[in-house]
Amino acid sequence: MKKYIIAIDEGTTSTRAALYDVDKKKIVNVTSRALEQIFPHRGWVEENAAEIYAETLAALAETIESVADVSFIAGIGITNQRETVIAWNKKTGRPICNAVVWQCRRTAEECERLKQTHAEFIYEKTGLIPDAYFSATKIKWILQNVAEARRLSEEGNLCVGTVDSYLIFKLTNGRSFVTDASNASRTMLFNIRTLAWDEELLQLFGIPKNILPRVVNSDEEVGYFEYESAKIPICGIAGDQQSALFGQCCFEEGTVKITYGTGMFMLYNIGENIPPANELVLTTVAYRLRGKTTYALEGSVFNAGSAVQWLRDELGLMSKSEQSGKMAKKVKDNGGVYIVPAFTGLGAPFWKSDARGIITGLTRGVNKNHFARAVLEAMAYSAKDLSGVMEKISGFSPKVIRADGGAAKNDFLMQFQSDVLGVEVDRPECAESTSLGAIYLCGLGLGLFTFEELKTLRKTEMLFSPSPDREYFEKQYEGWNKAVKQCLYCGD
């Protein structure tokens, strides 16, 4: 009998459902639905939580309908935008406010105060640096500012969780209120050493433990979705970046992937040991399989693909994001222009929440192609910022970086990334690494794959090798460093 796995990939600007043929060992169909973001105040980012579920359900239903018989669907895996917080009524499943998105900076001032008083305390427990990026201060804000949240919490009828928790609760008709260890590790409330919600952190932020989901393994079966007469198992959960790491088959210590999406995220698999504390990059749960936890170093850059969208939508320099690579190739270099797209502050390794984006090096000879090139180069330089720090902390110096995400399709960016890092960049045949991660976790949990099988599934589509002219690219990187220094002070 045919077997399929569906991955729900709920992202920041779209929600997708990918259909994987277990026999053919490939994704055979992807359905996508766009999501609208809401910007009620400067630095605030929200989404309509009810819309997130409605569009996810629509994509899921369309994918199920594309299969000849619903009984062919073995399971559903879930991966999601991380840190985003949704609060809802346990009895009705209705959201009580908009989702507070990971990009939202409304709690930045509080996080700056926490850096002064509790930075080491928080990092030691969570592997995270106090920042509005993470969920804890978002949850605190909802409890303090949404009257219905306080009332429901007092009644014992409030659920608060990341997007995976909300989707699973809705898909199981309220039967399952869970999250996996990878998502929990992004909340700033989860102790990555004890692998449990931390009582001292809950007290620090004033968050009742009973409003939070139960934490499960990443490959665990957590419930079922009823569709017509079928009960489809939900199995396999991971935050989007950890899912991409898994989908890229980065199972060994020292393997690295970069995802180029709305933001840019570099993850190093560091195995079962947590490194010493640092203030530059994060330590996170990569995945937990049958109770065994693998960790990763992570560098998060808040704005990457969003900067290309800015060129397209706000400046009107192109009609499609895909044009950016061709535009970049029309000029021999960046013309001395550097764009640091700190629209919502700077993430790793700087962690400057009040930094603002800048453009430097403008002359009369600069044109729109230089702008396109500068934005793409910014992604590559940001990756170099991260790799230098991560190599020192981890002790690993990878010779190959595995790339995925929408911008990984951009040949100019991939070649420039290889040139700047001085290592090979490996682009896989299947661009849907995030969805593949959820599929592989689901298949493992349901016994459809073995770990050894998974190692054989990844195929390279193109390998980009670095230029031997290291001096030139180091000089270009020096220009980037000067621009970043200006950016760091422009918020003061």
Q: What size, in residues, is the chain?
A: 492
To the question of pTM greater than 0.95 for the whole model, the response is no
H helix and E strand count, the chain: 15, 24
Q: What is the CA radius of gyration of the chain?
A: 22
**pLDDT value of position 487:** 87
The β-bridge partners of 53 are: none
pLDDT at 352: 86
Please tell me the predicted confidence (pLDDT) of residue 429.
92
Residue 4: both structure tokens together: 């399929």
The two three-digit tokens of residue 441, written as one number:
């976790």
Q: pLDDT per residue over 431-487, tens digit each?
A: 889 999 999 999 999 999 988 899 899 999 999 999 999 999 999 999 999 999 988
**Chain CA centroid to CA 431, Å:** 15
Round the average pLDDT of the chain to a whole number and report it.
93
Distance in angstroms (rounded) separating the CA atoms of residues 114 and 120: 10
Burial class (CB in 10 A: 0-12, 13-18, 19+), 390: buried
- Residue 491: predicted pLDDT: 54
Residues 6+ apart with CB under 8 A from 291: 217
DSSP characters over 341-409? --BTBB-TTT-BTT---EEE---TT--HHHHHHHHHHHHHHHHHHHHHHHHHHH----SEEEEESGGGG
* Residue 46 vs residues 37, 55, 107, 241, 456: alpha-carbon distances, Å: 6, 16, 13, 20, 40
* pLDDT tens digit sequence for 46-67: 999 999 999 999 999 999 999 9
Domain boundaries, the chain: 4-239
Predicted local confidence at residue 492, as pLDDT: 56
Separation CA 128–CA 339 (nearest Å): 27
Torsion, Cα 236 242 245 250, to 10 degrees, reads: -80
Q: Computed from CA positions of residues 230, 236, 238, 241, in that sequence, does the dihedral angle turn out positive or negative?
A: negative
State how far the Cα of 73 lies from the Cα of 2, in Å rounded to an integer: 8
Digits of tens for pLDDT over the chain (492 positions)?
789 999 999 998 899 999 999 999 999 999 999 999 999 998 899 999 999 999 999 999 999 999 989 999 999 999 999 999 999 999 999 999 999 999 899 999 999 999 999 999 999 999 999 989 899 999 999 999 999 999 999 999 999 999 999 999 999 999 999 999 999 999 999 999 999 999 999 999 999 999 999 999 999 999 999 998 899 999 999 999 999 999 999 999 999 999 998 889 999 999 998 888 778 889 999 999 998 999 999 998 988 988 999 999 999 998 899 899 999 999 999 999 999 999 888 888 998 878 889 999 999 999 999 999 999 999 999 999 999 899 989 888 888 999 998 899 999 999 999 999 999 999 999 888 999 999 999 999 999 998 889 989 999 999 999 999 999 999 999 999 999 998 887 655
pLDDT of residue 126: 96
Structure token pair of residue 346 = 């700077």
Query: What gap in Å lies between CA 174 and CA 248, rounded to an integer?
Result: 32
Q: How many CB atoms lie within 10 A of CB 210?
A: 9
The hierarchical CATH code for the domain 4-239 is 3.30.420.40
